[in-house]
Structure 1
Amino acid sequence: MSNLASSHHHVLLFILFSFFISISYSDPRIQEASLNCSATMYPPTLTSTLITTFTSVMEGVLEQVTEQNWGTFHQGDNPPIYALANCMQDLSSTECLLCFAESRTKLPRCIPSISGRVYLDGCFLRYDNYSFFGEAVDKKHDKVVCGKPFESIAKQDFSKLEFTQSVDELINNVTRVAIENHGFGVSHIKSGLATVYSMAQCWKPLSSHKCRECLDAAAQEIRNCTSSIEGRSLNAGCYLRYSTTKFYSTDADKLSDAGFSNIGVAIAIALAALAFSLLCLFGACLGYKRLEILRKERNNLGRLSSAVSKSNLNFKYETLEKATEFFDPSRKLGQGGAGSVFR
């Protein structure tokens, strides 16, 4: 009986363990898209120093990646090493660290080259002997990687021309979204029996101008892949990909839409500020007109008072008594704010 209870206990633990494993599953997208090493090498005498400096720089980058999912670091003089790591924006912190760890094991294959870069589907890591952090394009090393040919998914009502046109439209959409959303965007489009997905991202150190420059170049280059079901444009400052398989996280759409929400909020604030300014201006105009009316009334009153003073209409009390028969009520015309009026 105790063995049976123990068996049930183990099964329950296994089910619970499996449940938690399933809900914590993540995809850091560590598939290698490209590893590019410079053909120029450091001399063998610097190899030991290069490895030591490289290791130290990677530790410096790791600290920043842990905090913000991207980082830059540089160290050394002979040779100097500059490094940049950047995870895709839809990755969680844990997924980013897993992807960075994988890229960190692949990039040393470039040593003793003076530079190297590795693109994984979830992150990017590069080192070089100069500060390249704001670099958008590198015609020497930027490349495009195309996937399987279109024919691998061809269906009767799914024409190659339709697919090419859909991908072209999708590329325009996703680059526009990324430019408007601080360097990150995802999009998808229905084409025949398939849906095509796309993601664009600029590396964090890039300015908005450089980001646009990079994505424009990447969009132009990736169009060479539109006869394939998948394509990647791997540039110095950005990453652009499309595929018939949804490869980004479910949260990516929210991140992509956040840019439009921010734009909407900004527009709403601007309109509210404009409305408030117009109300203030309208109120100021009314106040000014009111002051003008009061000023004119004061001027008129002043002129009237002056006229009365100059008219010499000043009478002695005895004269007024005689004229009104000692203020007889029958001579009273009415009552004013300043007293009774007699004739």
Structure 2
Amino acid sequence: MKSAIRFVVLLLWSCVTAGDPQTNFLRNGCSSYAVTNASAFAVTFNDTLADLRSSISGSNSSLFATAHRPAVQSVYALFQCRGYLSAADCLACFSVAEGRIRSCGPAYGGRVIYDGCFLRYESIPFFDQVTPAENGNSCGGRNAATGGFTTAVRSLVADLSAATPRIPEFFAAAKRVGVFAVAQCVETVSEEGCQQCLAAAAGNVMLCLPGVDGRALEPLCFMRYSDESFFPANRTVDLSPYMINSGRAKSSNKGALIGGVAGGVGGLLLLLGFTSLLWIRRSRDQRSPSEGGAYLGLKYKEGCLKDGRTVAVKRLAIAQTSRARADFQSEVKLISNIHHRNLVRLLGYSSKRDDFLLVYEYMENGSLDKFIFGDKRGFLNWRQRFSIIVGAARGLSYMHQEFHVCIIHRDIKCSNILLDNYFQPRVADFGLARLLPKDKSHLTTIFAGTFGYTAPEYAIRGQLSEKVDTYSYGVVVLEIISGRKCNDIKLEPVTQYLLEWAWKLYERDQLLEMVDETLDPSEYSPEEVKKIIKIALLCTQATVAARPTMSEIVVLLLNQTDDALQPTRPTFIDASSRVHGDHASSSSTGSSSTSHGTSNATFSTLQFSAR
């Protein structure tokens, strides 16, 4: 049946005549980072775009193409036209998109979106990457005269988002009671990835209602509706064969759902009742996680979960008390509302019986610590480390200043920063996080954190503010640059913790001595490295008010100069709570009794993947 429909759709497409490339510009974006070798990049970039043009023109013309030129400055590129364009219109749209995206060079990546086509390039592979939703849309200026139009849009958009992932080439155009709409995913993504993207796109495009024209602009997919036809009448696809299968799947899954996800997780995952019996079962798609489409079913003695992706489960080994259960529920409510590309997302949970379990999205490359001073030390180059430094700062900035309440993590360290398949950072483990009332610092008698990363005012006096995370972040940056643990005094120079060593090198203007010896000096600018070390030292200043906010740190990291970076001496604290430095006397006083170490809860992560 599917092959027959595919033939009919392709046959209809072949009848299109040129006339409207739909080059109405919608959005573009360029990476903030410039390539290190602009001339080499320019050659590779031009060759890659030429390869794309060749793929969509001539006798073997296509509405979709990818290209990759391996080189010192590799370039991966993807181009896609809407499924209703003719070959000639598609080529015309590519020409317009090519001209605009060249303005991004020599940035590491860029993309441009038009009504008729989409063009993107990166310096790393991304063709099957399931990226976070961007909540992007573009809405027209006119509103519908009646409520019936809004109802029709909601119905058609919902059907398109459900059916399109099951349609060949991930494209569908449909018409229903005065509404014209299309949905499309890039062809290299998995069916599950397309489904997730269109679910987000459907929510975004409906924010345009009661407007009569709306578009959702996501990295992997596109959705549009209008009260006016914008595609040929013979391009429509019958959605019913795909909706039948969708309805059956939804019906069978609905009866099995027992647990749930706290606010904000939506339809991504509903977690079931957990029992002691747990095993993993492959689903019908046998691809590995690295191929971007692993489908897994987590099965329990009671109920069935089938989310279609690899997940990580965290079991909290904590006392079975009302306080522990309350803390668990608090963590779930907190995390489930946090959505940011640099924060690990909670997918579901269970507190049934004796188990406290949290289900997170799975990060393929695990925690950062093994790449900095673990068994994979030396694997990350300078550009990757810098990207991790910036990404972690952005995640913390969101927690502190962009979320509707200020969230303090309290345990920022390399083991709590995870890396996805493309080594993009995600701050993880919000088990120690606490909400902070606006415009207030907070005194707490319960210490939570890890020695070496904890700000003195918190470790000694129990004074908690978002600047505690800033301090920890600064220590982590020093670790990323040096490849040395912050509290390891066994390494040379002896008897000095990392922060104290960094400050002494700063005073002697010898900061480059702390750069990880595994880094290739030709890959980084000495001035850039020194600037980032100074930023890290700013984060660890003894005076809390002198530390920058995380949003200010993001700006400093991306700024080209370091003229204004003049950190003051940090307060140094060792494992016996002995404090020394310019502010030792003020830091050693306090009203609370604390102890160093991690919280009473212990955590273990079970990573589920295809076998």
TM-score normalised by the shorter chain: which range applies? 0.5 to 0.7
Q: Does 1:236 align with 2:236?
A: no
Task: Tell me, in whole angstroms, the C-alpha distance in 1 between the residues paired with 2:68 and 2:240.
Answer: 32
Higher relative contact order (CA 8 A, sep 6+): 1
Q: Does 1:167 align with 2:160?
A: no
Choose which of 35, 39, 59 in structure 2 pairs with 1:48.
Answer: 39
Task: Tell me, in whole angstroms, the C-alpha distance in 2 between the residues paired with 1:114 and 1:227.
Answer: 38
> Cα–Cα, structure 1 residues 25 and 208, in superposed 2: closer, same or farther, change >3 Å?
closer
| Structure 1, unpaired ranges of 5+ | 1-22, 265-343
Could you list the per-position Cα deviations for residues 263-310 of structure 1 after superposition, in whole angstroms to 9, with x for gaps in the alignment?
A: 99xxxxxxxxxxxxxxxxxxxxxxxxxxxxxxxxxxxxxxxxxxxxxx
Q: Which residue of 2 aligns with 1:272?
A: none
Deviation at residue 215 of structure 1 after TM alignment: 0.9
Q: Which residue of 2 aligns with 1:307?
A: none
Choose which of 176, 179, 201 in structure 2 pairs with 1:189.
Answer: 176
Deviation at residue 83 of structure 1 after TM alignment: 0.2
Task: Tell me, in whole angstroms, the C-alpha distance in 1 between the residues paired with 2:135 and 2:42.
Answer: 25
Could you list the per-position Cα deviations for residues 45-69 of structure 1 after superposition, in whole angstroms to 9, with x for gaps in the alignment?
A: x222222211100111222223322
Deviation at residue 149 of structure 1 after TM alignment: 4.1
Task: Tell me, in whole angstroms, the C-alpha distance in 2 between the residues paired with 1:214 and 1:238.
Answer: 6
Using the size of structure 1 for normalisation, the TM-score is 0.60
Q: Which residue of 2 aligns with 1:245?
A: 228
Could you list the per-position Cα deviations for residues 18-69 of structure 1 after superposition, in whole angstroms to 9, with x for gaps in the alignment?
A: xxxxx955212111121122222335xx222222211100111222223322
Deviation at residue 260 of structure 1 after TM alignment: 3.8
Deviation at residue 173 of structure 1 after TM alignment: 2.1
Conservation of the 8 A alpha-carbon contact between 1:37 and 1:113:
yes
Q: How many residues align?
A: 225
Task: Tell me, in whole angstroms, the C-alpha distance in 2 between the residues paired with 1:131 and 1:259.
Answer: 35
> Cα–Cα, structure 1 residues 62 and 25, in superposed 2: closer, same or farther, change >3 Å?
closer
Secondary structure of residue in 2 paired with 1:91: coil
Q: Does 1:257 align with 2:238?
A: yes
Choose which of 78, 83, 87 in structure 2 pairs with 1:93.
Answer: 87
Q: Which residue of 2 aligns with 1:337?
A: none
Task: Tell me, in whole angstroms, the C-alpha distance in 1 between the residues paired with 2:132 and 2:108.
Answer: 15
> Cα–Cα, structure 1 residues 129 and 142, in superposed 2: closer, same or farther, change >3 Å?
farther
Choose which of 187, 192, 202 in structure 2 pairs with 1:204.
Answer: 187
Q: Which residue of 1 aligns with 2:196?
A: 213
> Cα–Cα, structure 1 residues 101 and 198, in superposed 2: closer, same or farther, change >3 Å?
same
Higher helix residue share = 1
Conservation of the 8 A alpha-carbon contact between 1:34 and 1:119:
yes
Task: Tell me, in whole angstroms, the C-alpha distance in 2 between the residues paired with 1:127 and 1:229.
Answer: 32
Deviation at residue 136 of structure 1 after TM alignment: 3.6
Could you list the per-position Cα deviations for residues 69-93 of structure 1 after superposition, in whole angstroms to 9, with x for gaps in the alignment?
A: 2111111443221100111111122
Task: Tell me, in whole angstroms, the C-alpha distance in 1 between the residues paired with 2:155 and 2:239.
Answer: 22
Could you list the per-position Cα deviations for residues 194-226 of structure 1 after superposition, in whole angstroms to 9, with x for gaps in the alignment?
A: x22110011111221211111111112222211
Conservation of the 8 A alpha-carbon contact between 1:180 and 1:259:
no
Task: Tell me, in whole angstroms, the C-alpha distance in 2 between the residues paired with 1:167 and 1:177.
Answer: 15
Secondary structure of residue in 2 paired with 1:257: coil
Using the size of structure 2 for normalisation, the TM-score is 0.35
Deviation at residue 258 of structure 1 after TM alignment: 8.6
Stretch deviating more after TM superposition (219-228 or 82-91): 219-228
Task: Tell me, in whole angstroms, the C-alpha distance in 1 between the residues paired with 2:213 and 2:104.
Answer: 27
Q: Does 1:127 align with 2:121?
A: yes
Rg larger in 1 or in 2? Answer: 1
* RMSD of Structure 2 on Structure 1 (CA): 2.4
Could you list the per-position Cα deviations for residues 110-168 of structure 1 after superposition, in whole angstroms to 9, with x for gaps in the alignment?
A: 112211111111111100111110124334x5621112141xx53xxx2xx43332221
Q: Does 1:32 align with 2:25?
A: yes
**Partner letter of residue 137 of structure 2?**
V
Task: Tell me, in whole angstroms, the C-alpha distance in 1 between the residues paired with 2:17 and 2:56.
Answer: 21
Task: Tell me, in whole angstroms, the C-alpha distance in 2 between the residues paired with 1:236 and 1:259.
Answer: 27
Secondary structure of residue in 2 paired with 1:72: strand
> Cα–Cα, structure 1 residues 113 and 233, in superposed 2: closer, same or farther, change >3 Å?
same
> Cα–Cα, structure 1 residues 259 and 223, in superposed 2: closer, same or farther, change >3 Å?
closer
Conservation of the 8 A alpha-carbon contact between 1:54 and 1:81:
yes
Choose which of 68, 75, 81 in structure 1 pairs with 2:69.
Answer: 75
Secondary structure of residue in 1 paired with 2:137: strand
Secondary structure of residue in 2 paired with 1:109: helix
Task: Tell me, in whole angstroms, the C-alpha distance in 1 between the residues paired with 2:141 and 2:32.
Answer: 29
Secondary structure of residue in 2 paired with 1:176: helix
Deviation at residue 188 of structure 1 after TM alignment: 2.4
Stretch deviating more after TM superposition (30-39 or 239-248): 30-39
Deviation at residue 107 of structure 1 after TM alignment: 0.9
Q: Which residue of 2 aligns with 1:105?
A: 99
Conservation of the 8 A alpha-carbon contact between 2:202 and 2:223:
yes
**Partner letter of residue 217 of structure 1?**
A
Task: Tell me, in whole angstroms, the C-alpha distance in 2 between the residues paired with 1:142 and 1:60.
Answer: 31
Secondary structure of residue in 2 paired with 1:33: strand
Conservation of the 8 A alpha-carbon contact between 1:90 and 1:251:
no
Deviation at residue 171 of structure 1 after TM alignment: 0.8
Conservation of the 8 A alpha-carbon contact between 1:229 and 1:243:
yes
Task: Tell me, in whole angstroms, the C-alpha distance in 1 between the residues paired with 2:110 and 2:82.
Answer: 19
Conservation of the 8 A alpha-carbon contact between 1:218 and 1:234:
yes
Deviation at residue 241 of structure 1 after TM alignment: 0.6
Task: Tell me, in whole angstroms, the C-alpha distance in 2 between the residues paired with 1:115 and 1:60.
Answer: 17
Task: Tell me, in whole angstroms, the C-alpha distance in 1 between the residues paired with 2:240 and 2:49.
Answer: 32
Task: Tell me, in whole angstroms, the C-alpha distance in 2 between the residues paired with 1:63 and 1:171.
Answer: 34
Q: Which residue of 2 aligns with 1:180?
A: 166
Deviation at residue 189 of structure 1 after TM alignment: 2.8
Q: Which residue of 1 aligns with 2:141?
A: 148
**Partner letter of residue 49 of structure 2?**
M
Task: Tell me, in whole angstroms, the C-alpha distance in 1 between the residues paired with 2:129 and 2:180.
Answer: 27
**Partner letter of residue 189 of structure 1?**
R
Conservation of the 8 A alpha-carbon contact between 1:219 and 1:240:
yes
Q: Which residue of 2 aligns with 1:62?
A: 53
Could you list the per-position Cα deviations for residues 239-265 of structure 1 after superposition, in whole angstroms to 9, with x for gaps in the alignment?
A: 101112211122311xx239849x99x
